[in-house]
Amino acid sequence: MTRPVQTVTSELLSELPVIPAPVGDLLLRALGLAPRRVPAWITDPDTVASILAGFVDIPDDLYGEAR
């Protein structure tokens, strides 16, 4: 005698929360899953390269407009 196949789904996996875009952007950047931004007020090429390489971390409230 065979039993019928039942599919069990979790509500936690089927209804994921919606993350606001600014929060999601910061989270992805912090995890290294999105490219780093460089504040527009930083013009030194060596500093820009250091930020893009991840050697220098800029606090989020100092970003202003990114380039």
**Residue 45 reports pLDDT greater than 50:** yes
- Is 8 domain-assigned? no
- Kindly state the percentage of the chain with pLDDT values over 70: 84
What angle is formed at CA 28 by the lines to CA 60 and CA 13, rounded to 5 degrees? 135
Residue 66 confidence class, pLDDT cut points 50, 70, 90: very low
- Is 67 domain-assigned? yes
Mean pLDDT in residue range 35-55? 88
- Is 18 domain-assigned? no
- Is 47 domain-assigned? yes
- Is 5 domain-assigned? no
- Is 32 domain-assigned? no
Q: What is the pLDDT of residue 12?
A: 66
- Is 48 domain-assigned? yes
Cβ burial of 29 (10 Å; 0-12, 13-18, 19+) is middle
Which residue segment(s) compose the domain that 57 sits in?
Answer: 37-67
| C-alpha to C-alpha distance for 10 and 14, rounded to whole angstroms | 6
Q: What is the pLDDT of residue 13?
A: 65
- Is 20 domain-assigned? no
Supply 30's token pair. 């912090």
Contact 26, 60 (CB under 8 A): yes
Residue 34 confidence class, pLDDT cut points 50, 70, 90: confident
Structural domains of the chain, count: 1
